[in-house]
Amino acid sequence: MRGRLLLAALAASLVAAGGVLAAPPEDRLVSPDQHSSEKARSLAAKYLNALRELNAGIYHCVPWVEIGRESIGFFRPKHLPGDDRYLSLRIFVEQDPSPQFAALRFEERAASMFSRYVGGMLRRMAAHAAMLTDPAVDGFTVIVGWLKPTAQAGAQPVHETIAVFLPRPVAADYVAGRAKIHDVAARGQVFGYDGATPLGQLRLQAWEDSFLSTYRMANYQPDPGVTCR
């Protein structure tokens, strides 16, 4: 009897340890109290579980995408006046070097990455439907970075980045199927960066790309108990 109890306790502790190991790093989120305005703190507290689910979903199901520290939160886009608060997500995409990708101009690489990641990430961000009707949520920001393919071998790596700002009605239209991704690119604001150098606002021609919903990383096994859709 005592042996069985001991075994049960050991099994329970292993399950608990497994649960802890499977959790994504919490520091990817900006904690509610670290936001600079009451509006932002209130939003971050209200949607804390939704942000955790967003973090966990990307962590387990899109493992080639990295979320850095404090990359998810209700940030204020710096180019907008007032205290507009956008649910913001910054990701870095790790991908194999590709001569075809490297041969594109920056705007074309930016359009490719927009087409591949912005729609899919937006759907994940808006999975908690209440955000799409909450007037306190002014919009959504998706920042996508990738390794600049034309950098010299052996030199310090350089990231290229696009920052995409979408007012809430644009995001709501896209998630509801009333707008296509090329409409999103046209109605939103996109800014480009080469390393730390701003390249200004971009006009991107985006297209539907099913990569995120169809690609499976070779031999990758999600942690036990994780289901990816």
Residue 88 sits in the site that holds another protein (CB under 8 A): yes
Nearer to another protein, 77 or 173 (CB): 77
Using the structure block, give the residue that is written with the tokens 């990359």: 71
Quote the CA–CA distance of 203 and 182 in Å, as a whole number.
Answer: 11
Compute and round to an integer the Cα radius of gyration of the chain. 20
Residue 201 sits in the site that holds another protein (CB under 8 A): no
Residue 36 sits in the site that holds another protein (CB under 8 A): yes
Out of 77, 101, 186, 207, the residue judged to bind another protein by CB under 8 A:
77
The DSSP symbol for 224 reads T
User: Which uninterrupted H or E stretch holds 198?
Assistant: strand 197-202
Stretch touching another protein by CB under 8 A, among 72-80, 96-104, 105-113, 170-178? 72-80
**CA angle, 41 as apex, 38 and 61 as ends, to 5°?**
155
Stretch touching another protein by CB under 8 A, among 11-19, 74-82, 100-108, 169-177? 74-82
What is the three-class DSSP state of 39? helix
Quote the CA–CA distance of 127 and 123 in Å, as a whole number.
Answer: 6
| Number of amino acids touching another protein (CB under 8 A) | 44
Residue 30 sits in the site that holds another protein (CB under 8 A): yes
Residue 159 sits in the site that holds another protein (CB under 8 A): yes
Residue 49 sits in the site that holds another protein (CB under 8 A): no
